[in-house]
Amino acid sequence: MGAAPLASRIFDANGELLLLDVRGLGGVALQLSGTFTLTVQFEATVDGQTWVSLRMLPSNSTSAATNATAAGAWSANVAGFKLMRARVSAYTSGSADVTFLASSASGRVGASGGDAETLDGEDGSYYLDVDNMTAGTLAVNRGGTGAATHTSGSVLLGAGTGAITSTATLVVAKGGTGVGTHTSGNYLKGAGTGNVTSATPAATFADISPLTTRGDLLVGTSGAVTGARLAKGSSGNVLTMADGNDIGWAAASGGGKIVQVLGTTYATAASSSSSTYAESGLSLAITLADDSNKCIVLCQMGGVGKDASNTKCQLKLLRAIDGGAETTIGVEPNAAYNAATSALNSGNGAGWAILDSPATAAEITYHVEFASQNDAAVAYCQTNSATSSITLIEVDA
């Protein structure tokens, strides 16, 4: 005779499993020992995927259980199952030694300590003989209902040792609702010891909602994760994370908003043969709403060129605050440049896209100047009425 199937391990963490293949076996015993605070579930499966609770009998009791929290030994009939397992569903401390031992014999099947082969003093075969059944009804003490008829849609209600009755509704005291109909989409609402009532979704929400004022919000909080009232905020407020967990109302920060946009174009030709910078004619002024705001300067120069001589058209973008000293914020030293040769170079473009931080609320003027590098030939802008443009965008800090 081969050794009986055996499996064992130590449980010391939540979710741990011990499995045993019980195909072709009749009974299995499980023993837990050690010092621990945990819960072990007894489970079995037929298809190897869907697990159900397995009732096992303690060695010192006739009351079956589906789990254990203390040391002891249990047994069960596993005929017809594919696998059995012990699973830790809750763990606090300690460790438990768990052992499975299976056999071909079935485990104990009784749960009352009585003789499982008899019922009410009669052998089990007595009730398989139709001649021993009285016509019409089977008495309650014989395992029947005692009722001759049962209305479709009704439920059976016990009546002590008497016949079980057929009733259209099951009262609350017996675990029912006490209502015969329930409108589709409605919810059942308790009414004390009386019948449960059918309530609309709106009425149900009104019963449980903490909201009191138009504009309130229902939110989860650390004190009431299922829903709490957040009173409406003030005009212009926005929702924000107040402390990393709960939301609340706060004044809008305003950062990054566009405050104003200004733009202009210039298409009159300008030329110079001097290395001293001269006005191109393109200029635009803006006054920021706050000295902490920034200004995006988008500038594109059209028709930039040089005459047939060895020179370059040089450009620079300047900023002047309230008519004061100018500051260069962008340069292009090689516009209309053709490898330092005397070849004609005309009709090109050049420009800038700059985020400027002028730090002032006074009027700011942005303009473009140009020059001929070598004082030798003509450099020009807006030739042939080409268009130059500048756009100023104030951004809220």
> Tens digit of pLDDT for each residue in 49-73?
999 999 999 999 889 999 999 999 9
The residue ranges of every structural domain in the chain are: 6-103, 199-252, 258-395
Is the confidence at residue 223, as pLDDT, over 90?
no
Question: Per-residue confidence at 196, pLDDT binned at 50, 70, 90?
Answer: confident
Which has the minimum average pLDDT: 40-44, 258-262, 278-282, 309-313? Answer: 309-313
Q: What is the pTM of this model?
A: 0.41
The rounded mean pLDDT for the chain is 81
Q: What is the pLDDT at residue 259?
A: 92
Q: What is the pLDDT at residue 300?
A: 95
Is the confidence at residue 204, as pLDDT, over 80?
no
Question: Per-residue confidence at 228, pLDDT binned at 50, 70, 90?
Answer: confident
Place of tokens 């605050």: 321
Q: What percent of the chain has a predicted confidence (pLDDT) above 90?
A: 45
Q: What is the pLDDT at residue 218?
A: 76
Q: Using H for helix, E for strand and C for coil, what is the string for the chain?
A: CCCCCEEEEEECCCCCEEEEECCCCCEEEEEEEEEEEEEEEEEEECCCCCEEECCEEECCCCCCECEECCCEEEEEECCCCCEEEEEEEEEEEEEEEEEEEEECCCCCCCCCCCCCCEECCEEHHHHHCHHHCCCCCCCHHHCCCCCCCCCCCCEEECCCCCCCEEECCCCHHHCCCCCCCCCCCCEEECCCCCCCEEECHHHHHHHHCCCCCCCCEEECCCCCCCCEEECCCCCCEEEEECCCCCEEEEECCCCCCEEEEEEEEECCCEEECCCCCEEEEEEEEEECCCCCCEEEEEEEEEEEEECCCCCCEEEEEEEEECCCCEEEEEEEEEECCCCCCCCCEEEEEEEEEEEECCCCCCEEEEEEEEEECCCCCCEEECHHHCCEEEEEEEECC
Q: What is the pLDDT at residue 119?
A: 46
Q: 44 φ, ψ to 5°?
A: -145, 160
Give the C-alpha separation, 268 to 379, whole Å.
14
Strands 187-189 and 197-199 turn out to be: antiparallel
Strand-pairing partners, residue 9, are: 98
Q: What percent of the chain has a predicted confidence (pLDDT) above 70?
A: 74
Give the C-alpha separation, 162 to 156, whole Å.
13
Q: What is the pLDDT at residue 240?
A: 80
Q: Are the CB atoms for 23 and 30 separated by under 8 Å?
A: no
CA dihedral over 125, 126, 130, 136, signed as positive or negative: negative
Q: Per-residue pLDDT tens for 164-180? A: 776 767 666 666 666 76
Instruction: Look up the CATH architecture of domain 6-103.
Output: Sandwich (2.60)
Is the confidence at residue 91, as pLDDT, over 60?
yes
Is the confidence at residue 219, as pLDDT, over 80?
no
Question: Per-residue confidence at 131, pLDDT binned at 50, 70, 90?
Answer: low
Report, as an integer, the average pLDDT of 265-271: 94
Which residues are CB-contacts of 37 (< 8 A; sequence separation ≥ 6)?
A: 69, 91, 92, 93, 94
CATH number attached to the domain at 258-395 = 2.60.120.760
Is the confidence at residue 354, as pLDDT, over 90?
yes
Q: What is the pLDDT at residue 180?
A: 65
Show the CA angle centred on residue 299, arms to residues 372 and 362, nearest 5°.
105
Q: What is the pLDDT at residue 350?
A: 85
Strands 294-306 and 379-381 turn out to be: antiparallel
Q: What is the pLDDT at residue 214?
A: 84
Strand-pairing partners, residue 370, are: 278, 315
Which has the minimum average pLDDT: 112-126, 128-142, 267-281? Answer: 112-126
Give the C-alpha separation, 388 to 366, whole Å.
13
Is the confidence at residue 343, as pLDDT, over 90?
no
Q: Are the CB atoms for 197 and 191 separated by under 8 Å?
A: yes
Q: What is the pLDDT at residue 381?
A: 92
Report, as an integer, the average pLDDT of 243-248: 73
Give the C-alpha separation, 165 to 140, whole Å.
11
Give the C-alpha separation, 91 to 10, whole Å.
13
Is the confidence at residue 237, as pLDDT, over 70?
yes
Give the C-alpha separation, 130 to 192, whole Å.
47
Q: Per-residue pLDDT tens for 274-308? A: 999 999 999 999 999 999 999 999 999 998 888 77
Report, as an integer, the average pLDDT of 378-392: 92
Which residues are CB-contacts of 176 (< 8 A; sequence separation ≥ 6)?
A: 155, 169, 170
Question: Per-residue confidence at 134, pLDDT binned at 50, 70, 90?
Answer: low
Query: Do the domains spanning 6-103 and 258-395 agree at the CATH topology level?
Result: yes
Q: What is the pLDDT at residue 115?
A: 40
pLDDT higher at 108 or 396: 396
